[in-house]
Chains A and B, each alone.
Chain A
């Protein structure tokens, strides 16, 4: 329920962050019977959840940290059930589909590079076995009949899918609202202390107290984590997306850089810039994305672009998730990752129950502790 947190309100868990990671975790906590408060920023917050690409994506995941592949597949496999649960609760369909997805290549050089990445990824010791095929142009064309003449081939993974991420955002908020979870927008958390066995979170609009705290504030976790004895090194980057008007369905599979939403719009883009100014937008980057999109699917040439936007990606320093519990401040957790859509099912159905129980399950999430950064630093 939106509104005023009443003095003396006691919460089991305060979730810091009202983006997809925060609200998926909060929803999972609520299902476990926890009394949850979500602390969020306002309408103009830098908000990755409003700028993401909405893939539920498996291929390419795990190069450099093999367990990440298994963790991603776990979420991909849980996604249908997750979306069914949300639909039961809210009546809203987040349009999850897993038809398999493509990475398309516009030159032999790109295709060779792609094949090498996949070879290195799947050769890693301990990597879960899943199939990503390199397909020839002709093989791609069977499934994507509208590809342009410059497409030489690509990779395909049948575990890849997508979702309507803005509807997911709305659906989770709707579900939280129906569950009576307290949602406090414009409550930016300034400091967190632990006194007398409870956490006190000082916000721009007063103090909130809770027995546990889950940091799910994206890049802001870097600022918040040290307040509770945690570490969350981030390396935010800017991405830009181009979106078209609504079109009749023409694309049955998501491509990593181009997908058609259930509403008909086509989202294009996968840029990466070091700038962290969310208000800036580089036309030349949008132009490159548009140019590649037209080469991939020439029938899009005359389609109208109705929006472009840039958003700041939540990115940990090595790109992999960070899940941690504090040694010095028991009851404080970090839930932080880039892929808040793909991993939403895990956050709701796996991480949240762990936080509700008060301890992370080491066999599942130990590889994702931020301690890995210190080990590397020492080595």
Chain B
């Protein structure tokens, strides 16, 4: 859906559901997922429908993901960090995660 204008800036290695993804400095989690061509980042707690980032400006909450073991983080507001573990959030969040 998106490509990078230029592969500039230092690469940052993160994992998405255990898979290695190369992000760039300046990426948010949501942007890194889009750049990596990941189709959806969560399924809804109501019907299990797949969702992907929608607004990228912190209002829609469709980019909720589990980041480093903590669920329901807004992917579009969180800058990537080296070694960050991002997980697709399936349905309702599990308490304690």
A interface residue numbers (CB < 8 A to B) = 146, 245-248, 250, 264, 266, 297, 299-300, 302-304
Contact = CB atoms under 8 A, between A and B. Distances in A.
B36 to A, nearest CB: 26
Contacts of A297: 95
B94 interface: yes
B96 A299 contact: yes
Interface of B: 45-46, 70-72, 91-97
B93 A250 contact: no
A248 B94 contact: yes
B72 A248 contact: no
A299 B92 contact: no
Nearest to A250: B95
8 contacts: A245-B93, A246-B46, A247-B92, A248-B93, A248-B94, A248-B95, A266-B95, A302-B70
A247 B94 contact: yes
A254 to B, nearest CB: 16
Given A302-B70, A302-B71, A246 B95 contact: no
A294 to B, nearest CB: 11
A65 to B, nearest CB: 38
Nearest to A266: B95
List the 6 shortest-distance A-B pairs measured between CB atoms, nearest first. A299-B96, A246-B45, A246-B92, A299-B95, A247-B95, A250-B95
Nearest to B97: A302
A264 B45 contact: yes
A264 B45 CA distance: 9
A302 B66 CA distance: 12
